[in-house]
Structure 1
Amino acid sequence: MTKIDSIINVPNSKNKIIIQLKKILDYSKTNKISISIAGARHSMGGHTMYPNGIILNMRPYKEMTIDTINNILTIGSGALWEDAINYLDKFHKSIAVMQAFSSFSIGGSISVNGHGWQKDSPPISSSIISFTLMNYKGEILNCSRTENKELFSLVIGGYGLFGIILDVKLEVVDNETLQFKYIRLTPENYVEYYQKLISDNPKVKLVFGRLRISNKHFLEEVTLNYFEKIKKKPKKIPPHNKKNESSKRLVFRSTANSEYGKRLRWDLENGMNKILINETFTRNNLLNDNVSLIENKDKTSTDILQEYFIPERHFKQYIDKLKDVLPNKHIDLLNITIRSVYKDNDSYLNFAKEKVFGFVFLFNQKKK
């Protein structure tokens, strides 16, 4: 719990937001109050909110336009990826790089430099063409790889420490029709098959791995799930199926503190994979998932998300070590997803200094 001074909602207008933010900066300097920036508020930890400070709610600032000739989306930093996807869908375009869930904000994702499940891709930084930044003086600076390039590198992954991100120019791609494929493997064979089925296959666009976490066969099985481009006209994004989403969440949350639930989820997901194999989806449909699918509504526990980036050459060794480290009666492991991340050449605080596999852990911890 972080005590704050106030929350200020910004306007959805470039002229108005600049005027308002300059006034807030003057007020913060005069009264010596720190400013923190918030979007969808999914960034982990109280470090994103300064104690007794002002919180700028950037969510209302979500103006957007598209340049379909050069495939560039200009968007307000408060917009959610969901907003961008729904807008781009009208133009048969899609996001180049983003996280697994569309309920995060553009500015927040840039500030943590999240990565996605786009095939063999660097983090979000690689798809950023430029952005405008208001610094502590109230000056508006354009930041790119050629203009204010040091700030460009620092702001990406900088958690809002260097200014307020306003407008962002992002690379966009075509909204393609993709066909689902999957294979069950032992972890020993994952890297070999990843190279063969994914890296060497130009048709693959999206991919992720999932490790088995039940006590029975703990970390002894993994699924490699991927989507190949096919020649078929993409359909529009269908409305969210609330009943289907509720069922997915129920299956996922049933794994908390339950060996039976973990085994059941593994069996159900693999059974569903067999049914869905060769099923087609649009890129936008696959990217448009909400984090509420895994939300913890139990007030007596909290979820902890951690990620570790492991060089490809250490993949098998890392999993062997996990078998000794992870079993722990005080914390409950709910999920391990594997994603490949290419080297990041843009962010100063780059977590991918070479090609790595990101192991995304979700734990559940009971409160005392």
Structure 2
Amino acid sequence: MLTRRQFIRTAALFALAPRVFAETRREIWVNDVHSQLNRTRVRELLVPRNRDQLAEIVRSASRKAVPISVSGCRHSMGGQQFAADSICIDTRSLDRVISFDQERGLVEAEAGIQWSKLIRAYLEAESGKQKQWGIAQKQTGADTFTLGGSLSSNVHGRGLAMKPLISNIESFTLINADGKPIRCSRDENTELFRLAIGGYGLFGLIDSVTLRLVPRQKLRRVVEIIHADELPKRFEERIAQKFLYGDFQFSVDEKSPDFLQRGVFSCYEPIDEHEPVVAKKELRDDDWLDLLRLAYTDREKAFKRYSDYYLSTNGQTYWSDTSQLSAYLSNYAQKLRELIGGEESSLIITEIYVPRRDLPDFLAQAAKLLRSNRTTVIYGTVRLIEKDDESFLAWAKEPYACIIFNLLAFHTPTGIEASANSFRGLID
């Protein structure tokens, strides 16, 4: 098994492809796209386009002991995707669909593929066929996540009775420290399978992933406005009624008694395959930007507009896979500064895992903490996760409620420290 130190040392200069960025004469800085608080100077930025090129980087690294870092679409905010003075590998050009087994519902793709491209590819391949497959889950909030990064973080979506992504992974190919491809599954190299999923890249570079698809279904959205005290019971009811997906998006107006307490409870139930899919009302990018502007400037109005929109979509029908696609506003922080001015700031996301029975108490305590710290919450939601009994570094150690907070952070020493205090308080 590779140690963290051994893995970090597996990198080197890469000169196989002329289109690789080998910019050694000027400073190269990288950053995450959401919090924008992980600005890191790297030695080079490399873009391998196939397995051979990726493996050559690793083989060369073993000889030259040059540190590497690996990133995809750069949504991670924990700093794990960058390393100072490293060779930064951008995996986004590793984006081919390798195979699609229509009979078994298995799709293999390179690790740099993004979810929207993967979905388009299998939908095109199964067009006109009776048996239809789709993804079980992905992260929500954006589609610009790579498959390899999703595996490395062992992500989850808004499934009401689903384990993390490891439950949907059939196998993957990992490039080890010698530059050799290793196939990992529940039957081959089982230890690496359990370690690398949720291992944040510490055990090798993910080259390709075979994903287990599930039968594609039609769903109806059912929307209500409820109170947090009702959540544990209402989640249980929806699961018993065979709803597949759902979440609770709470009010972020700290001046209201409804802060973190009242929210949009939106769930999705399977419907007959012959019913039409009709989703006439959708938010465009401009609508999302305006909602985000209101979340910064008038959170009472933001929740009213958002909840009114969701209530107006009650009864709309969707496909189980494409309903998970989400808009993401790139450069949102810059766009908001242009609209409303103010100090340089961005959003930081955290996710807190709470026993489901304790969810109402946690939300009440969190509201008090965030008010007392004068921390601005721009967006938040509650989802469920089932226990992960496969990965070695499991975060879902029991069936949890997962509470996601998008906190506003100002890019000053005082602002960053204030955000850190709030995050520590939420965790405690």
TM-score of the superposition, structure 1-length normalised? 0.91
Residues 236 and 6 (structure 1), Cα distance of their counterparts in 2 relative to 1, 3 Å cut: farther
SS of the equivalent of 2:284 reads helix
Determine if contact 1:253/1:294 at 8 Å carries over to the other structure: no
Counterpart pick for 1:9 among 36, 41, 47:
47
Tell me how far apart the structure 2 counterparts of residues 236 and 224 of structure 1 sit (CA, whole Å): 21
Count of aligned residue pairs for this structure pair: 356
Task: State whether structure 2 residue 228 is matched by structure 1 residue 187.
Answer: yes
Deviations 1:125-145 (A, max 9, x none): 110011011101112111112
CA RMSD in angstroms, aligned pairs only: 2.2
Q: Give the alignment partner of residue 327 of structure 2, picking from 287, 290, 299.
A: 290
Q: Which of 375, 390, 394 is 1:350 aligned to?
A: 394
For 1:255, what is the secondary structure of its paired residue?
A: helix
Q: Distance in 2 between matches of 1:303 and 1:140?
A: 37
**Structure 1 SS opposite 2:321:** helix
Aligned: 1:265 with 2:302 = yes
> Which among 239, 256, 260 is matched to residue 216 of structure 1?
256
CA offset digits 1:20-65 (Å, max 9, x no partner): 2232123323332112111111111333211111111111112212
Residue 151 of structure 1 corresponds to 192
Which whole-Å deviations, capped at 9, do the CAs of 1:123-176 have from their partners, x for residues lacking one?
A: 111100110111011121111122111111111111111111111111112332
Point out 4+ residue stretches in structure 1 off by more than 6 angstroms.
234-238
Q: Partner residue of 1:207? A: 246
Q: In 2, distance between residues paired with 1:80 and 1:329?
A: 37
Q: For 1:1-368, what aligned pairs fall within 5 Å after superposition? A: 1-11=39-49, 17-64=50-97, 65-90=99-124, 91=126, 92-100=132-140, 101-196=142-237, 198-202=238-242, 204-214=243-253, 215-217=255-257, 218-233=259-274, 244-256=284-296, 258=297, 261-292=298-329, 295-297=332-334, 298=336, 300-328=344-372, 331-368=375-412
Distance 2:195 2:232 in 1: 32
- Per-residue Cα deviation, 1:78-131 (whole angstroms, up to 9, x for no partner): 000111111122224211121113210000111111111122111111100110
Q: Aligned partner of 1:289: which letter?
A: S
Give the letter for the 2:157 counterpart.
G
Deviation per residue, 1:282-319 (Å, 9 max, x gap): 22331221322893324610211011011112112212
The one-letter code matched in structure 1 to 2:72 is G
1:4 positional shift: 0.5
Give, as a single letter, the amino acid of the residue that structure 2 aligns with 1:142.
Answer: R
Structure 1 contact 305–363 (Cα < 8 Å) conserved: yes
List gaps (5 residues or longer) in structure 2: 1-38, 127-131, 338-343, 413-428
Q: Is the deviation greater in 211-220 or in 152-161?
A: 211-220
* SS of corresponding position for 1:291: coil
In structure 1, the gaps of 5 or more residues are: 12-16
Q: Amino acid of the residue matched to residue 321 of structure 1? A: Q
For the structure 1 residues 269 and 67, does the alpha-carbon distance in structure 2 shift closer, same or farther, using more than 3 Å as the test?
same
Percent of aligned positions that are identical = 23
Q: Name the amino acid aligned to 1:194.
A: F
Residue in 1 that maps onto 2:5: none
Q: Is the Cα contact below 8 Å between 1:9 and 1:56 reproduced in 2?
A: yes
Letter in 2 for 1:55: C
Matched to 2:261, the amino acid is E
Q: Is the 8 A contact 2:161 2:385 kept in 1?
A: yes
